[in-house]
Structure formats: C-alpha cells, structure tokens
Chains A and B, each alone.
Chain A
Amino acid sequence: MRSRIAGVVLAGGRSSRMAGPDKAFLPLAGKPLIAHALERLAPGVEAIAVSANIEPQRFSAFGRPVIGDILAGQRGPLAGIHAGLAWAASAGFDRLVTAATDTPFFPRDLVARLAATGNPGRIALAASHNRPHPVFGLWPTTLADAMAAFLDEPGNHSVSGFCRSHPVDIVDFAVQKHNGQQIDPFFNINTPGDLATAERLIAEQAR
C-alpha cells in the first residue's frame, strides 16, 4: 500500500521556537514567510497544516489547519513535530514531513527526495554541506509515542537529540549555484540582513 504523507510547517510559538516573534509574518517578495513555506511544501503532500501555539486565528487567512502542542510545558520544534504526528496519525497518514517557516528556498523536491530513501519506517532528514537540518524531516507517525516519552524526560529536548536514538537516513541536497554564488537551499532568515539577501535573490531570479 502506498504511504500517505501529510505536511506541517513549524511556525513556532511566541518567541523561542525557530527564532524571533512572528517570524512567520515577515514579508518577503510581498508575501509572509509562512505563505512561501506552505506553497513550497503543499504540492508534495496530501494535507498540510501549520504548527503554532499562539493565537491560531492569525493563520486563518491561509486556509490550513492550525495545530498546537500537546506537550504544553515544552517549547521548541520537537513539541511541534510531536503535535504534527498526532494530528497526521488521527487523520490516517503514515508519515509526516516537517519544514521550518524561515527557510524560503528549501528544495521543492524535499518530500520526493526524502520519501525516495525507501525506508518508510525510518526518519529521513534533509542535509546540505553534509550538515543535517533536523526540522526538515520525514517522520513515521508511529514515532509519536516515542517522541512524547522523550519529551517527558528531563534534559535535552532538541530534534537532533531525539534523532540520535532512532535510525535515521540522511538525504543530502546540493548547494544551488546562482549567478556564480553558492546558495544553501536551507539558508534561513535570522536577521534583517538575511531577509534583504533573500529579497535580492528573488529579484534576481525574476529577471
């Protein structure tokens, strides 16, 4: 039977997840970052949702389900991935692909490449320059319980920390060449300078 894949864009909470306040709504090329992420991820999945804890109605314009954390004492992307797994499992999906909202050029073939490992029971993580980007992953929904148990234990609740105790396939994505410049497809926006760089790249691509 073909595996069914849902997607979640991790838009974070008030401050700590993924970075600053409301990064999802930073405008890039006239659209908020969250819209870029949803558009990139949607074609590869059967259903797509936004993971966000604070004021879900802010996302209603995008017409996608908004899912909040189940493990409310937690902050961070792993709790969002866990809530995504629970949502996807209850809607009958076998796997969940996750993406960050602040990475506007993530590969359009992300889902296809991660799924092509042929190991539906294992985690597949995207990488570039041989460095994994664990919030860009394909997760069996059966991992929800193990993830909840991991989040329950004191200490490190990073996505990488969870992945260390599970079999993982790493899928490397090539650096994109752009006007002689090397662009990491997982280039993420952390500063106003990064946002300006992204604007410039989009403007150059449009020419």
Chain B
Amino acid sequence: MTRRVFGITGWKNSGKTALTAALVTELGRRGHLVSTVKHAHHAFDIDRPETDSFRHREAGAMEVAIVSGRRWALMHELRDEGEPSLADVLDKLAPCDLVLVEGYKHDAHPKLETRRLEARSREPLTGTSPNIVAIAADHPVAGETVPVFGLGDITAIADFVETTTGLAARGAKA
C-alpha cells in the first residue's frame, strides 16, 4: 500500500502542531484519510500510573495492547532497542491516503518548515534540514527558492500538499 508522506518541521514554538492539526482537518474535509506521526520527547507516556495497562508494563511486559470498542493503542517498550526509523514507523501504520509527519527534521521526506518570530530560533532550517519544499511563516520571508505561505493560509498550504504528494491527481481520478 502506498503511503504518501509529507512533513511539518520547524523550531520549537514555530507553530508545527497547530499547522499539522489544521491540515488534518482541512485535508480530511477534502475527503482524504490522514494519519500522523509525531516525534516526541524521550520519556513521553500515553499511559497513566494506576491504570491496569500501566501495571502490566511496569511488571515487564514487552508490549501492551489496550483495546476498547472505540480505540486501541499498542505500547512497545524499547528497553535496550534503538528508536525505530521513520520508515519502520510508517510501515506500522494502517493504509491511508497521507501521513503527516511532525518533527523528524533530519529525515529526507518532503517537508514544510514553519517559522514564527516567537519561535525558539529564527535560524532557517532550509540550509540544514533535507528536502524542505515550502515555508509557512508569520512574517515576510526573502531569499528562499521554495514557495512561502502565510502560516494561517491553510487552504493554500493544503492545496500545496495535495499537489506535491500527488493527492490532487488521486482525487481527480476517483
């Protein structure tokens, strides 16, 4: 199954998550099935102490699947294993039209860089992060060769994502 991949990257506090969430909504409204991958900090946890699943894991279970009639989650403890690559993670996702990847600024999938004047840094990522194909900023940007969007211009950014990933062609065919 083909998974189209498009990334949102940028410094902390540059608006990545807000843009990712807005794109999920907008692309979903356009009829695409969208999944996301988020790179998080070391000790992130989706579970809470005192839950049964938490106790299973603390007892040493390698994986814990927690399942209900509404959703399920699979927690995998890495222990001594290395962090999986983005490609490995993408392989685990169910078939969908598009995977939006937040973070992973050193991976080579095509990505948009978010910039805000209030972000942790104003250092452009276009020089160091591979395959930045567009920028979305809350201020005017000069001297870049890739398209620049307003950070809030979700319609134009969603159009660009559809075009870049070939989703537009797929939509026209369906």
A-B contact pairs, 14 of them (CB 8 A): A52-B108, A53-B87, A55-B85, A68-B131, A70-B165, A71-B166, A72-B99, A86-B133, A87-B131, A90-B147, A149-B169, A149-B173, A152-B166, A152-B170
Q: In the assembled complex, which residues on chain B have CB atoms less than 8 Å from the CB atom of A74?
A: 2
- Known: A72-B5, A72-B99, A90-B164. Is A66-B108 also a contact (CB below 8 A)? yes
By CB atoms of chain B within 10 A, which of A54, A91, A145 has the most? A145
- Known: A146-B169, A148-B170, A152-B2. Is A68-B130 also a contact (CB below 8 A)? yes
- Known: A71-B3, A73-B2. Is A82-B109 also a contact (CB below 8 A)? no
Q: Mark B74-88, 1 if CB is under 8 A from A, else 0.
A: 000000000001010
- Known: A66-B130, A74-B2, A149-B173. Is A91-B146 also a contact (CB below 8 A)? yes
Q: In the assembled complex, which residues on chain B have CB atoms less than 8 Å from the CB atom of A33?
A: none
Q: In the assembled complex, which residues on chain B have CB atoms less than 8 Å from the CB atom of A57?
A: 106
Q: For B106, give the chain A residue with the smallest CB separation.
A: A57
Within 8 A of B (CB), among A42-86: 49, 52-57, 65-74, 82-83, 86
Judge if B11 is at the interface, Cβ distance under 8 Å: no
Query: Is B108 touching A148 in the complex (CB atoms < 8 A)?
Result: no
Cα separation A10 to B6 with both chains bound (whole Å): 20
Judge if B134 is at the interface, Cβ distance under 8 Å: yes
Given contacts A54-B87, A70-B166, A73-B1, 9 further A-B contacts (CB under 8 A): A56-B108, A71-B2, A71-B166, A72-B109, A83-B131, A89-B164, A90-B110, A91-B145, A91-B146
Query: Is A86 touching B1 in the complex (CB atoms < 8 A)?
Result: no
Judge if A127 is at the interface, Cβ distance under 8 Å: no
Judge if B32 is at the interface, Cβ distance under 8 Å: no
Interface range on chain B: under 10, 10 to 19, 20 to 34, or 35 or more? 20 to 34
By CB atoms of chain B within 10 A, which of A52, A54, A86, A91 has the most? A86
- Known: A70-B4, A72-B3, A72-B4. Is A86-B164 also a contact (CB below 8 A)? yes
Q: In the assembled complex, which residues on chain B have CB atoms less than 8 Å from the CB atom of A114?
A: none
Judge if A189 is at the interface, Cβ distance under 8 Å: no
Judge if B168 is at the interface, Cβ distance under 8 Å: yes
Judge if A151 is at the interface, Cβ distance under 8 Å: yes
Q: In the assembled complex, which residues on chain A have CB atoms less than 8 Å from the CB atom of B168?
A: 145
Cα separation A55 to B130 with both chains bound (whole Å): 11
By CB atoms of chain A within 10 A, which of B109, B145, B168 has the most? B109
Query: Is A145 touching B108 in the complex (CB atoms < 8 A)?
Result: no
Query: Is B87 touching A72 in the complex (CB atoms < 8 A)?
Result: yes
Which 9 A/B pairs are nearest by Cβ-Cβ distance? A148-B166, A68-B108, A145-B169, A56-B108, A90-B133, A66-B130, A67-B131, A68-B109, A73-B2
Query: Is B110 touching A87 in the complex (CB atoms < 8 A)?
Result: yes
By CB atoms of chain A within 10 A, which of B146, B165, B170 has the most? B165
Q: For A83, give the chain B residue with the smallest CB separation.
A: B110
Q: Mark A75-118, 1 if CB is under 8 A from B, else 0.
A: 00000001100110111100000000000000000000000000
The listed residue (B2, B90, B134) touching A90 by CB distance below 8 A is: B134
Cα separation A72 to B79 with both chains bound (whole Å): 27
Judge if A135 is at the interface, Cβ distance under 8 Å: no
Judge if A124 is at the interface, Cβ distance under 8 Å: no
Query: Is B110 touching A68 in the complex (CB atoms < 8 A)?
Result: yes
Q: For A88, give the chain B residue with the smallest CB separation.
A: B133
Judge if B107 is at the interface, Cβ distance under 8 Å: yes
Cα separation A56 to B105 with both chains bound (whole Å): 11
